[in-house]
Structure 1
């Protein structure tokens, strides 16, 4: 605990303009950083630093504690809890700082801080190295002291036996003694049950007494802008009972979108069962059970959020989420889910979530609100692109091997015109070979579009042909049309006309060619150059136009004369 008086609310937030680093770091952000690095704690403002810590009262962040909480998170990525306490009408501000995740060091002004007595000092090399070499211990493998077989739920145990026997094709497994089953699955070690056994199998009251944060909260709101929930249900049962009850409750408010493919109509549910189950399984097997917050599921009519304590497992980021095999934070628990068929293979859950969601034409699963302290997954129920769903469905029926999740993600990015540097080139080449995408443009202006089949589904065939490679005549017509309205233009205007179709170098080459052919006239040099239609070209066009007009008039006169001639009998 760090105590500060701060009667007048004058504790600096970020060190202000103090010139010396050791003076600047004695601020709210500095203390929060150091406390987090050393396992969490409390910054208490409004109490004397000397024992017995007399309550003095403070005006620090009076009326703006929510803003302070948000600002700390924005600036250093630490998610504190800020609240007020009162004694004899004297206000105390408490900033409760969480413990850093394993292997993670937080910094203030690019310096990792630690507390040494009353001082905030740069972290020693020894302490820093010790932290970054940390490995997260498997909470689920640890022994749950005092837990006995009599504390396990009979129904949960029966479900475990049934699912394992089906997955392993071993009907005799159900007849084995409970002790042997638990031992074979490593839930029982040397006569002691593990935390995995507690989470998966313990009776409701035992689980709540020993690990109350293992519960799942399901909140329903009629509107996404609504803050208070309309209904809230606590699921406190062991996993093997909880997972079925939870899905059934979510599914009660599940709707569907009808999609028509010719004479055939099929329904796509708002919430895909496999996606929701995988998302919940991930939250349960990856969450940090040492943190006291439970899993929260927020259900809206057409969106579902799943929030669990603990950031992504070590080595996993937003950028490599579907590319790197994840290591479960609770390995033993995840292994049981795999062996009982709850999940197919450890680390594949996110793949399924992306695969099914994008295949249904919905928005990409959104993990962007996740951080070092929690994973936040947002799933949209809305089908944004019905044609993409039909496109993927038709591909999967025709190809000898189904598309991989990375191929579907790449197709979705190309559909959404994502920048070229965000595309996986290996996946792009595979899709080109399968003729599911087409390459357009040249050199730096290369871009990709979905194959013609997609535009057939969207009934936008004209858009497909519009995306064909642009030729010199199209360049000329586009430039002339622009100059007929604007009279003059700069090179940047021409580059803008052909954005995503031609590179700046390609545009300059064509414009220079038009200048040399005396179609355009250049005035000035370098970045100040302007272009207009050359007078010589305008004169040529007038001559051509007059010749065309004369030819048309001559033809019309001949036709009129032919009509007036008497017909031969």
Structure 2
């Protein structure tokens, strides 16, 4: 824009109604907080998307109330400092979105800054430090759920994977990938095996619903394209990255796997160290030997990531291998909302991020059955007596799935799963308890009602009923607290024998007797409350002497 164009635009913006949600004026005579700037960037970017605008505007140096006088701003007076803002903002936003341009106007009334803000990408709300912001009239506010879903719904209505690559040809396919896809299709559709052998490649790709009437799609290239054909997907990226870390979290090795992704999964398997794991079932003298990871569960995790990756975000699918776990991450929010909802519904979801790609993967036997894969992963882990997969959905536009390669803690979950009267949702909730994860109110009430857990939130543990089943009663006694009367009798017995006790003497007496479900600080608080109750309510003991050197004695 020329300077005259900017001055003309500024005058038009100043005349807009106060409640215009895609424009914000700030005096900022000397400064504006960096977080405040970021929150406005998120809010105005999202509102521009919802209004189908090319840009939103944040203007500094003008009062925010009509007649919107120019007061001038001294915010970042040096041009290099202003230009650094683009990177500084991008470091904390979705897809590293930042200002399109920062325009500096030196007017007779004072200096004005016009921040030109791009709209949120189709289907991806713009976040600031992991939080979405929007406007409610003139006010900055968290982006409402309805607006979040409205933006996300844009991606679901437009299927990136079904887009046609006009210039792509059959030469852009990997021959080995085509042969492997034919083999997979035969396994999925054995009744068409003889007929398939007569099809040329283009007929096969149409029948497998990888191409559309002979036209090559994004989905076709993601699964079957040559490595050098990735440019057809730009700015999208289709790549898997394997990272090996040691027990200190330090990277020891890595490798990127490009197109075709139908072959990349097996190539990653060749890298994984799926070691033999031994554990001792209760009442057995002989160890059980299994591999750390079930091959089907790994494959399903990776195929799910490929099927549901948001390729428009131009990021990779990561597979991070650690000594006792695998972490698979992909970009894009988890459309069903929660894993529990997937298990509870037990039916295919109504929406997919990449429906064309998902259907193609079903036809090529990469996804077992649409809608059942996640539940089957949990059932597989249950059959192996291993911890459940951990779905971390704490980041708005990322799904993290961790698979554990060993039995955790005292084998509660492993042996509890053998109980036929527990449904999968209860097993999942108990698995959270064993991992010391928080459970929601519904899960808490359900487990409490069945007397499967004890303790006080957040320090919950598996109850005696399960401990008895598993045979690990000693650990249960360590976890379970005695009642207060037991501790009071111990204190009185000590004072009868020794006459007096300092606070540290009572701590030594009780600390190792109080439930191990509590941490050190909580145990000491429990003792303090106990002594207060004995001295002020029961009147059985009292503190003799100055507070710092007082000793506890019996009250006669």
Superposition TM-score tier, normalisation by shorter sequence: 0.5 to 0.7
2:44 match: 34
In the alignment, structure 1 segments of 5+ residues that lack a partner are 5-13, 46-54, 84-93, 489-495, 501-520, 524-528, 535-569
1:557 match: none
Which of 166, 171, 175 is the aligned partner of 2:187? 166
1:510 match: none
1:286 deviates by 0.3
In the alignment, structure 2 segments of 5+ residues that lack a partner are 7-23, 60-76, 100-114, 502-512, 518-532, 542-556
- Secondary structure (helix, strand or coil) at the match of 1:34 reads helix
Residue pair 1:215, 1:234 contacting (<8 A) in 2 also: yes
1:288 deviates by 1.0
CA distance in 2, matches of 1:466, 1:220: 37
CA distance in 2, matches of 1:449, 1:321: 25
2:225 match: 202
CA distance in 1, matches of 2:374, 2:118: 30
- Secondary structure (helix, strand or coil) at the match of 1:214 reads coil
Which of 528, 532, 547 is the aligned partner of 2:539? 532
Residue pair 2:279, 2:288 contacting (<8 A) in 1 also: yes
Deviations 1:296-322 (A, max 9, x none): 222233333323222222x42477465
Q: 1:79 to 1:522 in 2, by over 3 A?
A: same
Residue pair 2:325, 2:403 contacting (<8 A) in 1 also: yes
Q: 1:390 to 1:310 in 2, by over 3 A?
A: closer
5 Å-filtered alignment, 1:6-25, equals none
Q: 1:479 to 1:67 in 2, by over 3 A?
A: farther
5 Å-filtered alignment, 1:247-266, equals 247-249=269-271, 251=272, 253-261=273-281, 262-266=284-288
Question: How many residue pairs align between the two structures?
Answer: 450
1:287 aligns with 2:297: no
Question: Which protein has the larger Cα radius of gyration, Structure 1 or Structure 2?
Answer: 1
CA distance in 1, matches of 2:148, 2:254: 43
Which of 96, 109, 124 is the aligned partner of 1:80? 96
1:330 deviates by 1.0
Which of 129, 138, 159 is the aligned partner of 1:138? 159
1:280 deviates by 0.9
CA distance in 2, matches of 1:463, 1:24: 51
1:235 aligns with 2:257: yes
- Secondary structure (helix, strand or coil) at the match of 1:166 reads helix
Residue pair 2:480, 2:515 contacting (<8 A) in 1 also: no
Q: 1:454 to 1:69 in 2, by over 3 A?
A: farther
CA distance in 2, matches of 1:449, 1:197: 49
1:277 match: 299
Residue pair 2:174, 2:226 contacting (<8 A) in 1 also: yes
CA distance in 2, matches of 1:179, 1:27: 52
Q: 1:322 to 1:426 in 2, by over 3 A?
A: farther
Per the normalisation by structure 1, the TM-score is: 0.60
1:207 deviates by 3.5
Q: 1:428 to 1:191 in 2, by over 3 A?
A: same
1:567 match: none
5 Å-filtered alignment, 1:303-342, equals 303-313=325-335, 315-317=336-338, 320=341, 322-323=343-344, 326=349, 327-342=351-366
Residue pair 1:361, 1:386 contacting (<8 A) in 2 also: no
Q: CA RMSD in A?
A: 5.8
